[in-house]
């Protein structure tokens, strides 16, 4: 049985890379907070990244900052396999969330990859390891039915502190518990779970969903179609 959902830890669930080391710019003016960051694989070929941006003294940085994300094959040196930059607006605590991508399938081949983050042109060090979940997902073409079901929590990408729906979905697609504002079903033909959230037309680029397994480890990929949240399950 699944444990009760605790929103305070939801972004630590389904993590493919937990960036727990403090990353500091060479001039020590800015850093990623000591509590670390999380990167969650979403769809299609995107990573949802959240972190806290602070000064070297630990004070939150709340003004707009250009943040560049790069994925490398090496822990240091080399050229990026993929790179992208975004203008981010941290909240009052310096926390920002950004879905980065799309990242080409050729980046994740099963080999270890490293994420390099630069803030206002200053590279954070050290680079952080990205685990192989994207590769594991890309090698499987069809989803499977979850063994014991899963928990999910959905929020607007611009408001990660305010979930619009969360709950526990059983293996057959039945709603076991949750906020009561969604329906769910298992589509056996498409091999996926389909969730409709009342009052919201779900689109992957507007909403973000974190999914966690119940009972046994499983990988999840989320997408959207026809205003529905789609959840694909893959075995490890």
pLDDT bracket for residue 26 (50, 70, 90) = very low
pLDDT tens figures, 74-92: 999 999 999 999 998 888 8
* CA atoms of 114 and 135, how far apart (whole Å): 14
CATH of domain 10-135: 2.60.40.2060
HEC states along 82-123?
Answer: EEEEEEECCCCCCEEEEEECCCCHHHCCCCCEEEEEEECCEE
Domain boundaries of the chain, sorted by first residue: 10-135, 150-235
CB 105 within 8 A of CB 138: yes
Quote the pTM value. 0.51
Burial of 67 (0-12, 13-18, 19+ CB in 10 A): buried
pLDDT tens figures, 90-141: 888 787 777 788 888 788 777 888 889 898 888 888 888 775 555 555 555 5
């Amino acid at each position: 049985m699944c444990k009760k959902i605790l929103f305070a830890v939801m972004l630590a669930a389904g993590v493919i890379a937990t960036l727990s080391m403090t990353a500091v710019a060479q001039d020590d003016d800015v850093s990623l907070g000591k509590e670390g960051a999380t990167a969650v694989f979403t769809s299609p070929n995107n990573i949802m990244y959240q972190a806290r941006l602070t000064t070297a003294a630990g004070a939150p940085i709340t003004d707009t900052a250009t943040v560049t994300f790069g994925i490398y094959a090496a822990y240091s040196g080399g050229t990026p396999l993929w790179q992208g930059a975004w203008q981010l607006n941290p909240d009052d605590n310096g926390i920002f969330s950004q879905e980065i991508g799309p990242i080409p399938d050729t980046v994740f081949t099963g080999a270890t990859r490293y994420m390099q983050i630069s803030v206002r042109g200053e590279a954070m060090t050290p680079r952080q390891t990205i685990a192989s979940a994207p590769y594991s997902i890309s090698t499987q073409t069809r989803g499977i039915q979850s063994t014991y079901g899963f928990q999910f929590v959905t929020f607007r990408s611009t408001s990660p502190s305010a979930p619009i729906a969360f709950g526990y979905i059983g293996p057959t697609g039945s709603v076991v518990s949750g906020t009561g504002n969604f329906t769910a079903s298992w589509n056996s033909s498409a091999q996926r779970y389909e969730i409709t959230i009342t009052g919201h037309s779900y689109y992957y680029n507007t909403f973000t969903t974190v999914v966690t397994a119940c009972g046994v480890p499983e990988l999840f990929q989320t997408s959207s179609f026809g205003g529905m949240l789609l959840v694909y399950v893959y075995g490890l």
